[in-house]
């Protein structure tokens, strides 16, 4: 037999294991030091009370024969799909049908699984730096070509550098690409896209028979009114874009697992409906999200749920401001943070990403993420996250200021 040899081409997932190794080594050598972790993209605030209450109630339903539920619809229960359509879209002026929403166990899995729908010879455009899932899942499928250890890049991708020069916003390709991954608000840079920028992408995709894969996992962190939350706020997007959303960062569901993907029925390629194809894919390979979890997700949209989610987001947004203002006050060049839980910070004095990471670890006892781990254009930056404890975040910023 033969294995899928594309897996053998993948470089090791070096970033978080290397961070873990350096943090463990420092901790072992300096057991008296307390480290503050502003590196990992995971939430820390507990689930909102309204979500807990709904989940408890749903667990009880599962324990009684009259209300027990077995397999649910692969696409998600109507109660959740309808709440999504109403609260996440209709209230922002976007009209969707419930059968354009597919509930899932995560935006990571959906971003990875969506590649099932597309031919292997499509050209994939990815940002640099980038959320690694887009890159690695297409490499597993055989769409990436060969990996170059020296450059850290694959031969088959169209890379779109996101740098200070272009405001961390990818440029429209001057050639034909087929699949375009966009993530706004961005992980790792925290950058957002304006309505005009998104319109240019939608026009490009419609004109070039391309599909935009729009990851808006962080849309709830948008604070500026003029920034679109959904690609479907842009005219023409329903004929060219798939959108990924998640309850993970919005409502603390990273460990609870619930997300959804929107595939408009107007979106057709190669004579086929992508909505029908994704439906077929999900029905064949996925058996739905647990009922209890979906009731929890539904409660995110209740009056109490929306208020509690807002409070949690405000907590993180305050942390983001503390980091952003603090580092800026220390003379560092920072971006992101305003519409995002991520702050993208330029290393001082031309230091490398890992060099600055080590300095902050060893001298300030603060753990960050080296930008170079997200792609070559991330070199010279570090990422800090607003997902920590508020007091610890203030302490971390004070420590960084003290050593610069």
Ligand X SMILES: *Cc1c(COP(=O)(O)O)cnc(C)c1O
Q: How far is the CB of 19 from ligand X (least distance, A)?
A: 16
Long-range CB pairs of 53-57 (<8 Å, 24+ gap) are 53/299, 54/295, 54/296, 54/298, 54/299, 54/302, 55/292, 55/293, 55/295, 55/296, 55/299, 57/295
Instruction: CB nearer to ligand X: give 189 or 248.
Output: 248
Q: What does the alpha-carbon distance between residue 217 and residue 259 come to, in Å, rounded to a whole number?
A: 9
* Nearest position to ligand X, beta carbon: 106
Q: How far is the CB of 156 from ligand X (least distance, A)?
A: 21
Question: What's the full length of the chain, in residues?
Answer: 404
Four-residue CA torsion sign, 326, 327, 328, 330: positive
Q: How far is the CB of 21 from ligand X (least distance, A)?
A: 22
Binders of ligand X in range 171-190 (CB under 6 A): 183, 187
Q: How far is the CB of 383 from ligand X (least distance, A)?
A: 11
Q: How far is the CB of 41 from ligand X (least distance, A)?
A: 5
Instruction: CB nearer to ligand X: give 129 or 380.
Output: 129
Q: How far is the CB of 227 from ligand X (least distance, A)?
A: 17
DSSP track, 337-387: -SSSSEEEEEPGGG--HHHHHHHIIIII-EE-EEGGGG-GGGTTEEEEES-
Pattern of binders to ligand X over 51-90, x per CB under 6 A?
----------------------------------------
Pattern of binders to ligand X over 255-284, x per CB under 6 A?
----x-------------------------
Residue 170 found at the interface with ligand X (CB under 6 A): no
Of 6-14, 59-67, 244-252, 271-279, the window that binds ligand X (rule: CB under 6 A) is: 244-252
Binders of ligand X in range 98-137 (CB under 6 A): 106-108, 131
Work out the angle at residue 318's Cα, subtended by the Cα atoms of residues 34 and 92, and round it to the nearest 5 degrees.
Answer: 135
Residues 6+ apart with CB under 8 A from 222: 185, 192, 229, 339
Work out the angle at residue 122's Cα, subtended by the Cα atoms of residues 121 and 123, and round it to the nearest 5 degrees.
Answer: 115
Instruction: CB nearer to ligand X: give 281 or 401.
Output: 281
**Under DSSP, is residue 268 helix (H, G, I), strand (E, B) or coil?**
strand
Q: What does the alpha-carbon distance between residue 70 and residue 321 come to, in Å, rounded to a whole number?
A: 45
Classify residue 118 by its DSSP letter: S
Q: How far is the CB of 54 from ligand X (least distance, A)?
A: 19
Instruction: CB nearer to ligand X: give 257 or 295.
Output: 257
Pattern of binders to ligand X over 33-52, x per CB under 6 A?
--------x-----------
Q: How far is the CB of 37 from ligand X (least distance, A)?
A: 16
Please count the residues of this chain forming the interface with ligand X, following the rule CB under 6 A: 14
Binders of ligand X in range 212-231 (CB under 6 A): 215, 217
Instruction: CB nearer to ligand X: give 6 or 109.
Output: 109
Binders of ligand X in range 289-348 (CB under 6 A): none
Q: What does the alpha-carbon distance between residue 293 and residue 256 come to, in Å, rounded to a whole number?
A: 7
Comparing C-alpha atoms, which of 227, 185, 128, 225 is closest to residue 316?
185
Instruction: CB nearer to ligand X: give 106 or 326.
Output: 106
Residue 254 found at the interface with ligand X (CB under 6 A): yes
Asked if 314 and 160 touch (Cβ cutoff 8 Å), the reply is no
Written as six digits, the tokens of 26 are 């420092």
Q: How far is the CB of 215 from ligand X (least distance, A)?
A: 5
Instruction: CB nearer to ligand X: give 246 or 308.
Output: 246
Q: What does the alpha-carbon distance between residue 104 and residue 70 come to, in Å, rounded to a whole number?
A: 17
Q: What does the alpha-carbon distance between residue 187 and residue 131 come to, in Å, rounded to a whole number?
A: 6
Instruction: CB nearer to ligand X: give 134 or 154.
Output: 134
Instruction: CB nearer to ligand X: give 118 or 221.
Output: 221
Taking the alpha carbons at both ends of the chain, their separation in whole angstroms is 57
Chain residues that interact with ligand X, rule: CB under 6 A: 41, 106-108, 131, 183, 187, 215, 217, 246, 248-249, 254, 259
């Amino acid at each position: 037999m033969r294995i899928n040899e594309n897996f053998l081409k993948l470089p090791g997932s070096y970033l978080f294991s290397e961070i873990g190794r350096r943090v463990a080594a420092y901790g072992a050598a300096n057991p008296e030091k307390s480290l503050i972790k502003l590196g990992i993209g995971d939430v820390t605030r507990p689930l909102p009370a309204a979500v807990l209450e709904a989940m408890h109630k749903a667990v009880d339903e599962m324990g009684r024969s009259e209300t027990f539920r077995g397999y649910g619809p692969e696409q998600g229960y109507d109660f959740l799909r309808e709440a999504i359509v109403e609260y996440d879209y209709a209230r922002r002026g976007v009209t969707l049908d419930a059968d354009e929403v597919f509930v899932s166990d995560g935006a990571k899995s959906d971003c990875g699984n969506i590649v099932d729908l597309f031919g292997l010879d499509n050209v994939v455009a990815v940002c640099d730096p980038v959320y690694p899932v887009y890159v690695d899942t297409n490499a597993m499928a055989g769409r990436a070509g060969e990996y170059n250890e020296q450059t850290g890049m694959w031969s088959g991708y169209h890379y779109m550098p996101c740098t200070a020069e272009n405001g961390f916003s990818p440029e429209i390709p001057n050639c034909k690409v087929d699949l375009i991954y966009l993530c706004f608000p961005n992980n790792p840079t925290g950058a957002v896209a304006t309505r005009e920028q998104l319109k240019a992408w939608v026009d490009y995709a419609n004109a070039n028979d391309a599909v935009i894969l729009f990851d808006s996992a962080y849309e709830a962190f948008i604070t500026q009114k003029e920034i679109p939350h959904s690609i479907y706020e842009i005219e023409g997007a329903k004929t060219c874009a798939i959108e990924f959303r998640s309850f993970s960062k919005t409502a603390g569901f990273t460990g609870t697992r619930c997300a959804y993907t929107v595939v408009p029925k107007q979106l057709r390629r190669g004579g086929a409906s992508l909505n029908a194809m994704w439906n077929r894919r999900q029905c064949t390979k996925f058996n739905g999200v647990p009922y209890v979890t979906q009731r929890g997700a539904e409660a995110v949209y209740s009056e109490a749920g929306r208020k509690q989610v807002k409070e949690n987001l405000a907590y993180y947004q305050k942390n983001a401001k503390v980091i952003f203002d603090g580092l800026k006050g220390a003379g560092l060049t920072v971006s992101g943070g305003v519409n995002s839980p991520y702050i993208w910070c330029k290393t001082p004095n031309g230091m490398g990403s890992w060099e600055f990471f080590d300095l902050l670890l060893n001298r300030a006892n603060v753990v960050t993420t080296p930008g170079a781990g997200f792609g070559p254009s991330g070199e010279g930056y570090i990422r800090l996250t607003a997902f920590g404890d508020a007091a610890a975040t203030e302490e971390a910023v004070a420590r960084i200021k003290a050593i610069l």
